[in-house]
């Protein structure tokens, strides 16, 4: 029984995108020529590898994955990338920086837009199409997620900074107002006519202001401006879009 998952469908869409790119492989070839290391060499045994891996029963994978510990997995990865690298070559290229071509990056980006994580099947398919090792695709997605998170943190930082500035301004304004009120020579009669002081409490989760139901409390005609933190109801209880504080 063949069940086509939604992710697989979207992956196939991106693979169509990939074919569009792959047809124009001049970019890839030129990079291969200009650099000593051919990251983009299509693994000659990639199909065999995939079949072999599919045969390995992995308890966690929905389909299959490169099983074993990292070192073993890397061995399989190496095998997938051609398997004809000699020990000397291997040692030579062990830590050489492998630059992905523009096409490969574009395709990876496109796939990332659709889903920022890949299941093992998608990873294998993408690696095969790009002529990369599955590990490379995995690493690329990991690094891409890290970059996204970093960017989002920077954005959040900016927002917090602006909020802080707004609150500082608001605080300054209120301090000034308090000073002005203190400066007034208020008569006891004036106090009697005033509504009782209202203590505002803010719900920490939804950031809405709760006005206590004091028997003397009168509904205010003037809206209370609370500043940037008093968000509107639809925004209240908004889950974090990024699990920055997951750990």
Binding site for DNA (CB under 7 A): 35, 37, 39, 56, 58-61, 65-70, 72-74, 94-100, 105, 117-118, 120, 135-136, 138-147, 149, 244, 246-247
Q: d(Cα 152, Cα 135) in Å, to the nearest integer?
A: 26
Cβ 208 to DNA, closest distance in Å? 29
CB of 71 to DNA, least distance (A): 7
Task: State which residue, 72 or 177, has the beta carbon closest to DNA.
Answer: 72
Query: What's the closest the beta carbon of residue 81 comes to DNA, in angstroms?
Result: 9
What is the Cα Rg of the chain in Å? 30
Q: Name which of 191 and 245 has its Cβ closer to DNA.
A: 245
Tokens of 193: 């006519």
- Smallest gap from Cβ 150 to DNA, in A, equals 9
Considering the complex, state which of residue 94 and residue 216 has its C-beta at the smaller distance from DNA: 94
Q: How far is the CB of 23 from DNA (least distance, A)?
A: 22
In terms of DSSP H, where are the helices of the chain? 6-22, 26-34, 46-55, 70-80, 87-92, 102-114, 120-130, 134-183, 188-193
Distance (Å, rounded) from C-alpha 130 to C-alpha 43? 10
Which residue, 67 or 231, has its beta carbon nearer to DNA? Answer: 67
Give least dist CB 240 to DNA, A. 12
CA 16 to chain centre: 24
Judged by beta carbon, residue 144 or residue 208, the one nearer DNA is: 144
Q: In which residue are the tokens 């401006």 written?
A: 225
In DSSP notation, 57-108 reads: --SS-SS----S-HHHHHHHHHHHTTS---HHHHHHSTT---PPPHHHHHHH
In the numeric block, the tokens 């990251």 are attached to: 39
| Number of C-beta neighbours around residue 14 at 10 A | 22
Pick the closer one to DNA by CB: 148 or 168: 148
């Amino acid at each position: 029984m063949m069940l086509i998952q939604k992710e697989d469908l979207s992956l196939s869409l991106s693979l169509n995108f990939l074919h569009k790119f792959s047809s124009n492989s001049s970019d890839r070839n030129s990079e291969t020529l200009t650099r000593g290391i051919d990251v983009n060499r299509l693994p000659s045994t990639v199909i065999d590898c995939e079949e072999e891996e599919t045969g390995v029963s992995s308890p966690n994978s929905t389909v299959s994955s490169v099983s074993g510990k990292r070192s073993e997995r890397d061995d399989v990865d190496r095998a997938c990338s051609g398997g004809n690298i000699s020990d000397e070559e291997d040692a030579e290229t062990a830590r050489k920086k492998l630059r992905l071509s523009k096409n490969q990056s574009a395709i990876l980006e496109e796939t990332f837009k659709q889903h920022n994580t890949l299941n093992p099947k998608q990873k294998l398919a993408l690696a095969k199409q790009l002529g990369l090792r599955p590990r490379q695709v995995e690493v690329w997605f990991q690094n891409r997620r890290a970059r996204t998170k970093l960017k989002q943190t920077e954005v959040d930082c900016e927002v917090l900074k602006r909020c802080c500035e707004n609150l500082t301004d608001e605080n300054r304004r209120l301090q000034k107002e308090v000073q002005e009120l203190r400066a007034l020579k208020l008569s006891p009669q004036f106090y009697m006519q005033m509504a009782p002081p209202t203590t505002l409490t803010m719900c920490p989760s939804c950031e809405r202001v709760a006005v206590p139901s004091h028997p003397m409390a009168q509904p205010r005609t003037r809206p209370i401006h609370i500043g940037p933190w008093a968000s509107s109801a639809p925004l209240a209880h908004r889950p974090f879009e990024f699990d920055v504080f997951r750990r």
